[in-house]
Structure 1
Amino acid sequence: MYTQETKRANATDMCDVDHPSISTREIDDAELARMGKRPVLKRNFGLWSILGFSCTILITWEGIVVLFLQAYQNGGPAGAVYGFIFVWIGVASTFVVLSELASMAPTSGGQYHWCSMFAPKAAMKLTSYLTGWLTVIGWQATFATSCYLVGTLIQGLITLTQDSYRPQNWHGTLLFWAVAVFSLVINLIGGNLLPRFEGLILVLHLIGFFAILIPLITTADHGSANEVFTHFLNHGEFPSQGLSFFVGMVGCMFAFAGGDAAVHVGLSSSVDDANLRELANLVKLVYQMSEEITNASTAVPASIMLSVLINGSLGFGMLIAMLFCLGDIELALESPTGYPFMSIFLQATGSVAGTAVMGSIITTMGISTSVGMLATTSRQFWSFARDRGIPGWRIWSQVHGKNAIPVYSVLLTTTIACLLALINIGSSVAFNDLVAMSISGLYLSYMAVAGLLLYRRCTGEIRDSNDSNTETVNTAGARLVWGPFHLPGVCGVLVNTFALIYMSIAVFFSFWPPSWVVTVDTMNFSVVGTFGVILLSLIYYILRARRIYVGPRVEFRYSEESLAAAE
């Protein structure tokens, strides 16, 4: 029999808990079984590595530096500061909702699985299907954008250090492909390499912040607090400063994009192909213990919330430092590198070598983020294919090798990104619309599940986690129970509501162009891309998917009968 100490044990890594016959891996497999899923993928991430994964997917302070121009031109210094604060609060509330959902249903399907849990039976299939495709759009665009930004950052560093170099769009495409191939290699090796890699990058993420902040603030001439906190700009010539402010927030939104990354990677399960009897025995054993010993349902929400706290703090600190150390902003805006921050660093340090080192830290972090984004994008794609939501699902849902890697999904994701890189050869402006597609796709998927969660919590249809330990829960048609992490009562309703308001603003303004006078070059075509893919997915749904897609498939149903069979 388990002791009280064992019941309170919180298994936060891949080590065994205080019982010789059960490990955290088995606990996570049991949780997956209660949601009707057989274990398929190998679970390699502990709390430290998944925290590193979450933080380095967001890389908010690096993103603020790279996308600094967008917030500055529409909003100015003051707009950038107050816009960041608003986005940070909105993202925190959104991440609370995602953490509640991840705690309830720790599965790599993420948003489309959660939709199937909450949606009315008549609308479950279509709602879940569309949410799955929105998540696919968002993550495919996010991975491609990450590779693109890194490729152009490398071009900027070459321009900075080599006066004779003349950047061309096709150079950026080749560098894009190099980053994508590097990400592919790390992901295909898989195993324990990826979580160790992400844990190492977390250290670089934190050290790199101070390696840039300290030289910047000690060598640059400082502006006044009045200029930073009261000076607004409207370079987009919008009819009002308020409209300019909201358009400028898109850069900050993208710097926080990817909060569900830990969901799709951190919630993959073990490679064991357990049969029905073994799973029933495992669930019986695990749920004699306290809910607190679970790993994924506590580690992933913890990593999500810690990542928004860490990244938000670092991002805000770097933004304030950049605004106080602008130097000659007109010179920075005309930088031949294509990135104003490189000119700001150069004016501050007076050293090309020093600026190159500082820029290399940000570029290295960008490369590392691309590795993690490929892992997230391919796992989400694999999970949706496993549930037959994607054409060719038999191929994309396969896993290979002792590390159980969805190789075909990884290869297809890389191929899609490399094909999208060809757009950059014709127009770098058109490729920039992928940034907006990333925001619109991911936030629309968040909105769908957040709205359904708000409805269910207001109607009181979600029970306490201890109400039911002997049946399938938190999947389509099953009972809904809270996980270890959730905000109770009115507090949860208020946070959930504010998250929906923030996400509505984010999606609406992600479709806006950067200036009021729109030309072919400044037009934001992301609305065409986002809803174009949705339209194609609906056509596929009508022709094929409505007959084979039934939502997240229940591969194992845990009940009193299966418990009796196990005994």
Structure 2
Amino acid sequence: MNRNYELDTIEDNGIQKSPYHSEMEPVTKEERDAQVLARLGKKSVLERRFGFISILGFTCTILITWEGSLILFTTGLTNGGSAGLIYGYLLVWIGTIAVFTTMAELASMAPTAGGQYHWVSMLAPSSIRNFMSYIMGWLVICGWQAILAGGGYLSGTMIETLIQLNHADYVPHLWHGTLLFWATVVVAVFINTVTSSVLPKIESFILIIHVVGFFAVLIPVVYLAPNKASAHDVFTQFSNGGAWPTQGLSFFIGLVGNVFAMFGCDSAVHMAEEIKNAEVVVPWSMLTTTVLNGALGFGIVVAVLFVTTDITAALSSPTGLLGYPFMQIFYDATGSKAGASGMIAIIIIMDTAGTIAFLATASRLVWAFARDRGLPGWRFVSRLQSKTAIPILAVITTSSIACLIGLINIGSATAFNDVISLGVSSLYASYVITESFLLWRRCTGAIRMPTDFSNDTIEANQLVWGPFHLPGIFGIIVNAFAVVFGTIIFFFSFWPVATPVQAVHMNFSVLMTGSVVLFAIFYYVVWARKTYKGPIVEVTPYTMNNPSAVGSAK
């Protein structure tokens, strides 16, 4: 990492010196956070409750990689088989590290709740800046809205399947899953509003469950399993259950399950205005989460494949037919419904915790875009609850939309799955576009180092590297690889899982994503271009000689 300057050097008296000017007077940590946000034209209005450990717990529960790898086991097994699942996981893990390393550079440069749409406004050519930023805002919001709906849906349907495992006479119905989905969202709303002040402590505790729960599942499954597959079978057997023309094509289609279990680390970005020392903590929490969760996920995938001697039987079991073959694998390994249920409960708890974090992330993003006048009803949605400094109206709006999306499941589970698949396609579109603009800017030398400034007046949203920065050719290679990998995932996120393609299992996410983009373009042309001028500059510029005077509200 570039260490030409150090932003997190704290003196014994709690005073921090800014790297931007060597002769300036020292500022406190709180003032430094306000300065960083002021450099982006924003006032600091949210309470900074999160530190490194609490936001690490937050991002780990967003990814829930080892849990998600089990939940989405079917996708990789169908297209790829055991060998395809393992090698596909490694490819996705490496690609995800590149994606979020690049995103970490952007987060360090501009740690704001707006994230991608704010970054695009900074990076894009001036002629298309507002338009591209606006489209990006809708893509990211719809992506996180879909992820929130998906998290609640998975919790609800896993509870259904757990009941079915223990009571063979239980017949699940689609509306059962919707009601349980709503219950999960209600819990998430309660945590994000009534107990919002202790959310960082909750996330720190969830981090412990995340790590301890991994061993609580891994050890019994491996130790108690009566039979184990051979290394040859696990690492060499591929499957083309989707009947695609080639095994290679099947392999790439099967990557999406691993992607779904490993993306969304930009959640920390959208919480940045509530994180202490965000320009340092956010990027390092993103990287730590990706490495830690990737390692845990790989361990659980390999372990479960070794104890699954009959993959076909797991997929065709009652729980497998409901989409969760890992539950049957747990039962087969332990020989105990009680033991299997306990391990399954850990995964359900973690998914519910993830839904809490999904709601927090989505609501902060909605609030930020409304603050910049990008949404209908922005005056209403952008209001903060005065006592807690929480965007409660954004929380209510986001959760209400998620509950309405849940109604789709009553009519068609396929249609609902197409809606939540919007999460992968929309977020990866935002990653690719944002990182492509960054690659262009860094290759043309448009991004300056803080040491380039002396007595300059710092205007809002100037392109200045943050403390987390991959220098030179190494940064360009990582950035370029992230763009290529993201493009591949975006392309294959639209493919159905099997041929021949019929309406019942067609992947309509391309229609969903296209509809979002077309609506955003239409609304921008007709109305939003009159009100949306990019991220609003709320504070006046300041000089490097007196950065503690961050300016007054415009």
Please classify the TM superposition score into its range, dividing by the shorter chain length: over 0.9
- Other-structure match for 2:292: 310
Match of 2:458 among 472, 493, 503: 472
- Other-structure match for 1:328: 310
2-side partners of 1:62 and 1:17: how far apart? 41
Change (3 A) 1:31 1:229: same
- Other-structure match for 1:343: 328
Aligned partner of 2:414: which letter? V
Q: Give 1:207-226 correspondences, 5 Å limit.
A: 207-220=212-225, 221-226=227-232
Aligned partner of 1:115: which letter? V
SS at match of 2:504: coil
Q: CA deviation at 1:189?
A: 2.1
The answer on 1:367 being equivalent to 2:349 is no
The answer to whether the Cα contact below 8 Å between 1:187 and 1:375 also exists between their aligned partners in 2 is yes
Q: Give 1:88-237 correspondences, 5 Å limit.
A: 88-220=93-225, 221-237=227-243
Q: CA deviation at 1:22?
A: 4.5
Deviations 1:295-343 (A, max 9, x none): 1111111100000010000000000001111133222112223210000
SS at match of 2:59: helix
Q: CA deviation at 1:10?
A: 3.6
SS at match of 2:469: coil
Q: Give 1:41-80 correspondences, 5 Å limit.
A: 41-80=46-85
Change (3 A) 1:196 1:411: same
Change (3 A) 1:125 1:348: same
- Other-structure match for 1:257: 263
Q: CA deviation at 1:545?
A: 0.6
The answer on 1:495 being equivalent to 2:500 is no
- Other-structure match for 1:355: 340
The answer to whether the Cα contact below 8 Å between 2:44 and 2:273 also exists between their aligned partners in 1 is no
Change (3 A) 1:167 1:384: same
Change (3 A) 1:218 1:133: same
Q: CA deviation at 1:27?
A: 1.3
- Other-structure match for 1:551: 534
Deviations 1:197-239 (A, max 9, x none): 1110000000000000000111111101111111100010000
2-side partners of 1:566 and 1:389: how far apart? 29
Deviations 1:235-272 (A, max 9, x none): 10000001000000000000012110000013347xxx
1-side partners of 2:231 and 2:100: how far apart? 31
2-side partners of 1:555 and 1:313: how far apart? 42
2-side partners of 1:511 and 1:564: how far apart? 48
- Other-structure match for 1:411: 396
Change (3 A) 1:566 1:55: closer
Match of 1:433 among 406, 418, 423: 418
Q: Which runs of 5+ in 2 are unaligned?
A: 18-24
Change (3 A) 1:402 1:471: farther
2-side partners of 1:16 and 1:327: how far apart? 58
SS at match of 2:507: coil
Change (3 A) 1:345 1:191: closer
Change (3 A) 1:537 1:8: closer
2-side partners of 1:498 and 1:216: how far apart? 36
2-side partners of 1:532 and 1:250: how far apart? 21
2-side partners of 1:336 and 1:380: how far apart? 39
- Other-structure match for 1:457: 442
Change (3 A) 1:547 1:161: same
Compare 432-441 and 222-231 and name the one that shifted more.
Answer: 432-441
Match of 1:442 among 410, 419, 427: 427
Poorly superposed stretches of 4+, deviation over 4 Å = 6-9, 15-22, 561-567
Aligned partner of 1:380: which letter? L
2-side partners of 1:247 and 1:565: how far apart? 52
SS at match of 2:474: helix
The answer on 1:393 being equivalent to 2:378 is yes
Q: CA deviation at 1:39?
A: 1.3
Deviations 1:390-433 (A, max 9, x none): 11111111111322111111001101110111111111122122
The answer to whether the Cα contact below 8 Å between 1:108 and 1:267 also exists between their aligned partners in 2 is yes
Compare 552-561 and 513-522 and name the one that shifted more.
Answer: 552-561
2-side partners of 1:493 and 1:258: how far apart? 23
Aligned partner of 1:80: which letter? L
- Other-structure match for 1:280: none
2-side partners of 1:555 and 1:485: how far apart? 26
1-side partners of 2:202 and 2:375: how far apart? 30
- Other-structure match for 1:482: 465
Q: CA deviation at 1:559?
A: 3.1
TM-score for both structures, normalised by structure 1: 0.91
Q: Which runs of 5+ in 1 are unaligned?
A: 1-5, 270-293
Change (3 A) 1:7 1:532: closer
What is the aligned-residue RMSD (CA, Å)?
A: 2.1
The answer to whether the Cα contact below 8 Å between 2:234 and 2:306 also exists between their aligned partners in 1 is yes
The answer to whether the Cα contact below 8 Å between 1:153 and 1:363 also exists between their aligned partners in 2 is yes
Aligned partner of 2:243: which letter? E
- Other-structure match for 1:33: 38
- Other-structure match for 2:282: 300
Match of 1:87 among 71, 92, 100: 92
2-side partners of 1:354 and 1:401: how far apart? 47
The answer to whether the Cα contact below 8 Å between 1:34 and 1:557 also exists between their aligned partners in 2 is no
Aligned partner of 1:482: which letter? W
Q: CA deviation at 1:547?
A: 0.9
Change (3 A) 1:314 1:473: farther
Aligned partner of 1:400: which letter? Q
1-side partners of 2:28 and 2:146: how far apart? 37
Number of matched pairs: 533
SS at match of 1:481: coil
Deviations 1:122-155 (A, max 9, x none): 1100011111111011100011001000100111
The answer to whether the Cα contact below 8 Å between 1:472 and 1:557 also exists between their aligned partners in 2 is no
2-side partners of 1:409 and 1:215: how far apart? 42
TM-score for both structures, normalised by structure 2: 0.93
The answer to whether the Cα contact below 8 Å between 1:327 and 1:347 also exists between their aligned partners in 2 is no
2-side partners of 1:90 and 1:66: how far apart? 21
Aligned partner of 1:181: which letter? V
Match of 2:524 among 537, 541, 564: 541
The answer to whether the Cα contact below 8 Å between 2:314 and 2:328 also exists between their aligned partners in 1 is yes
Q: CA deviation at 1:531?
A: 1.2
2-side partners of 1:318 and 1:452: how far apart? 36
Deviations 1:533-561 (A, max 9, x none): 22111111111111110101111122349
The answer to whether the Cα contact below 8 Å between 1:107 and 1:268 also exists between their aligned partners in 2 is no
SS at match of 1:239: coil
